[in-house]
Structure 1
Amino acid sequence: MALAKLSKAHVAELLKDDGVVGYGTIRRLRGLVSLNMEVKETTELFHADNVVDDKYTKFEECTVTLVIKEMPLEDYRYLYNKTVDTDGLTVDKTDDEQSWKAFGFEGGIGKNDKRMVWLTKGYFEPISEEFKTEAGGVEVITQELQGTFIARATDNVWRKRADSTDTNMTPEKVETFFDTVAGIAPTPVTP
């Protein structure tokens, strides 16, 4: 099965993870070029009677590397909790605190089927920018975004996903997958 046709990147702020899970407005991110996920687990082998008797594995984190066309300032402000001053300028402060986010995306599997994924709690590292002068010809510069995702404290869930071919996934569920964060409806945030 080939994984391709990456699309529909979404992000939502994790508002609550204290016995109850709540997310803010789900926002579409545009310009996603590629995505790589690496899951990190720790495995400990237990020895008894001079042989490996058991194995214990614990999830640590999932690192996501995104390549994007470019990040619009509106998306930048949302991902990193930045503000706009009275002159309309985006403000970066040394004491800015980023909130936890959920990240979702869709990828194609096979010929016409889809895999939909939500990573439920994570944050994104500061994004780097590169600017160059034109030197003749065409050169496309992309940006790389790195995120780290962990399990929610409330229920230990770090990822929820489904394939459009799953027997419990109706066409309506596939169509509305990104209307919620893994089944949790967003709570409107009032400024």
Structure 2
Amino acid sequence: MAGVQVGLKNLYYAVLTKDDATGVSYLAPVKIAGAINAKISPKSNTEVLYADDGPDETATALGEIDVEFEAKDISLTDQAALLGHSIVGGVMLKKATDAAPYVALGFMSKKSNGHYRYIWLTKGMFALPDQEYATGEDKPKFQTPKLKGTFVKRAYDDLWQRIADEDHPDYVASIGANWFNSVEGTADTTPPTVTVVPANNATNVAVGASVNWTFSEAILASQVSDSNFFLIKDSDGSAVAGTLSINTARTVVTFTPGANLSAATAYRAICTKDVCDLAGNKLAANSVTKFTTA
């Protein structure tokens, strides 16, 4: 069941230190305590081409992204980091020459179905906030700070936002557990590996056996299909009917035949090299495992 956003917590920022054709880097993310709300408003620029007395084609390009957040408090340390001010002897100094740095902004939002959405905006700059103060009254009135900023796409790769949903079929717990450790997440360029049961060249395999592919890391659940995982008879290449399933950790795929396999018969269990890990790294080669039933 899909859910709508009903909450906000864990507001983080990370100062962008590099963004050019050679790469991108950030300082370690810093948490702003007491997140109240956040608003993201992307703008798009659309042009319409008219031909033969009517609209013929349209083209749309991403413009700037307006961002606003409100928190219980924004400490002087965080204000200085976000707006380019300095702190001397416990006093924040604001100068006309101060320049706000580019930062990333991240948070998580609870959905009505109980799952969370995780968000990073990758590059933006915040403006000086309004300052409003009021005397105490008989009825308490909370005064909470807001910051408004403008975000853009990165020069390195055009990326402007990262989003993960806990209820997406390819989500694994490690995504949320590491979301605020870095803006980019852990770089993964290593292809997954796979082991298969029954093992290659196994004999006397039970006719009621299933086939298990166990991967070295989580794979994309969306790729678990009969075009990537299948069992065939070795003699004629005919496909064995059955069902595929994947465990919650996304590391084990199981093929369960719809009926017992034929006795004393050779089979091949195949997993194609199109299967990817969560970072998009494919298997180095097709996995082909031959076994013979008892």
Q: Which TM-score applies when normalising by structure 2?
A: 0.60
Larger relative contact order (Cα-Cα within 8 Å, sequence gap ≥ 6): 1
Gapped regions of structure 2 (runs ≥ 5): 188-294
When residues 175 and 184 of structure 1 are mapped into structure 2, their CA distance, relative to the original with a 3 A threshold, is closer
Aligned residue for 1:188?
A: none
CA-atom RMSD, angstroms? 1.5
Aligned residue for 1:189?
A: none
CA distance in 2 between counterparts of 1:88 and 1:137 reads: 32
Aligned residue for 1:12?
A: 14
Q: CA deviation at 1:116?
A: 0.7
Q: CA deviation at 1:184?
A: 6.1
Counterpart check, 1:105 vs 2:107: yes
Aligned residue for 1:30?
A: 33
Larger Rg belongs to: 2
Task: Answer 1 or 2: which has greater strand percent.
Answer: 1
Superposition pairs of residues 11-160 of structure 1, within 5 angstroms: 11-19=13-21, 20-85=23-88, 87-160=89-162
Q: One-letter code of the match for 1:32?
A: A
CA distance in 1 between counterparts of 2:59 and 2:9 reads: 35
Q: CA deviation at 1:128?
A: 2.2
Q: CA deviation at 1:113?
A: 0.7
SS in structure 2 of the partner of residue 175 of structure 1: helix
Aligned residue for 1:175?
A: 177
Q: What's the % identity of the aligned pairs?
A: 28
Q: Tell me, yes or no, if the aligned pair for 2:9 and 2:109 is still in contact at 8 Å.
A: yes
Q: Tell me, yes or no, if the aligned pair for 1:23 and 1:184 is still in contact at 8 Å.
A: no
Gapped regions of structure 1 (runs ≥ 5): 186-191
Deviations 1:8-52 (A, max 9, x none): 111001111111111111101112211121110001111223332
Q: One-letter code of the match for 1:113?
A: H
CA distance in 1 between counterparts of 2:173 and 2:122 reads: 23
Deviations 1:124-183 (A, max 9, x none): 111222222112121111222101100011111111111111222201111111112032
Q: Tell me, yes or no, if the aligned pair for 1:22 and 1:184 is still in contact at 8 Å.
A: no
